[in-house]
Amino acid sequence: METLLPRHLDEALAATAAHPEATILAGGTDLMVAVAYQALRPAVVIGIRRVPELQEWDGRFIGAGVTYSRLERGPFAALAQAARTVGSPQIRSAGTIGGNLGTASPAGDSLPFLAALDAEVLLRSQAAERALRWDEFITGPKRTALQPGELIVGARLPEAIPDRQAFAKIGTRTAMVIAIVSCCVLRWDDGTTRVALGSVGPTTVRPRAAETMISTERRPSSAALDEFARLVSAEVSPINDHRSTAAYRRHASGVLARRLLERVL
């Protein structure tokens, strides 16, 4: 196994250009599980922890190397809460937002916040730079539009981010769980509401009909909240697996979205 440890973004991009099929190692919280339990044996590994540009967090730009423990202390309440629910403190000190994007698990904890904001994912190769909206970047469960030679540089958030935001995640123990359902709700002062849910579809789900319906409700009645929950449940597409059932996930999606909305009203 060849290991490259670039010290600057230019070096990192040169490394990915020279080894377009290389495996990128950031926090290693997903990759090392694959090494230990799926016998992944990459030929070339590019470790990007030492690349200072990827550690940057400048307003609306969050570098790919920003760890969950930094996100926990950041200014965005829902993202901070999402980061707080990731693994143990040790995992949060290692895992990064770029890794969460790169793995593209339907259960990725930072993804509902990024999806609710229609965040862009910034990608660079030696030849070019491009920005893809989150749903252009994540193309399926654990599938992305990342091309050989490209690096995830970070996520770019829109200027307008409401203060009223919340995130919650369902698991069957008090901490250290993979989401059975996760949900992020954002609400602007004009009523515009964005909702994103994890672990209830092949990628993060945006229940558009529910968003549209509730965005017109300035002071949603109890009946409107019920309808909102019903629409959320109708729009998710969960599966049965060893962690939960489709029926529970569908039910819990509506309950959780409604509770979060009530918290931000």
Partner 1 sequence: MTITKTPTVVAGGVGTSPIRPDGIPKVRGEFAYSSDLEVDGMLWGSTVRSPHARARIVSIDVAPALAIRGVAAALTIADVGGRGLFGLIEPDQPVLADGEVRFWGEPVAVVAADDRETARIAATAVVVHYEPLDPLTDPERAEELGETFRVLDITRGDPDARGEVVVEGYYEVGMQDQAQLGTESGLAIPDGSGGVDLHVSTQWLHVDHEQVVASLGLPPEQLRLHLAGIGGAFGAREDISLQIHLCLLALRTGRPVKMVYDRAESFVGHVHRHPARMWFRHEADRDGILRRVEARILLDGGAFASTSPAVLANAAYFAVGPYASESVTVHAAAARTNNPPCGAMRGFGAVQSCFGYEAQMDRLAAALGIDPVELRLRNALDREDRIATTGQVIVGSLPTRRVIEALRALPLPDEAPGDDPRRLPGGTGLTTSRAAVMRGVGFAVGIKNLAFSEAFDDFTEVRAELTADGIRIHTAAAEVGQGLVTVIQQIARTATGISNVEVVWDHTGEIGSAGSTSASRQTQMTGGATLRACEAVAAVALARADAESLDDEGAWRDDQLVMTLADLVAAGPIEHLERFRHPPTTPPDEHGNGDVHAGYAVAAHRAIVDVDPELGLVHVVRVDTAQDVGRVLNPQAVIGQIEGGIMQGVGLAIMEEIVIDRGVMKNASFTDYLLPTFLDAPDMTAVLIEEPDHWGPFGAKGVGEPPTISSTAAVVAAIRNATGRDLNRAPVRPEDIVGL
Residues lying near partner 1 in the complex (CB under 8 A) are found at 33, 36-37, 39, 81, 84-85, 166-180, 182, 241-245, 247-248, 251-252, 255-256, 259
Tokens describing residue 38: 């799926």
Nearest distance from C-beta of residue 240 to partner 1, angstroms: 10
Closest to partner 1 by CB, 2 or 241: 241
Question: Are the C-beta atoms of 186 and 254 separated by less than 8 Å?
Answer: no
Closest to partner 1 by CB, 53 or 262: 262
Nearest distance from C-beta of residue 227 to partner 1, angstroms: 17
Nearest distance from C-beta of residue 245 to partner 1, angstroms: 5
Nearest distance from C-beta of residue 215 to partner 1, angstroms: 24
As to burial, measured by CB atoms within 10 angstroms (0-12 exposed, 13-18 middle, 19+ buried), residue 69 is: middle
Closest to partner 1 by CB, 11 or 30: 30
Closest to partner 1 by CB, 163 or 241: 241
Nearest distance from C-beta of residue 177 to partner 1, angstroms: 7
- Distance, CA of 25 to chain centre: 18
Helix extents (H) in 145-221: 208-215
Closest to partner 1 by CB, 83 or 146: 83
Polymer length of the chain: 265
Terminal-residue alpha carbon distance, the chain: 53
The tally of CA atoms less than 13 A away on the side-chain side of residue 192 is: 9
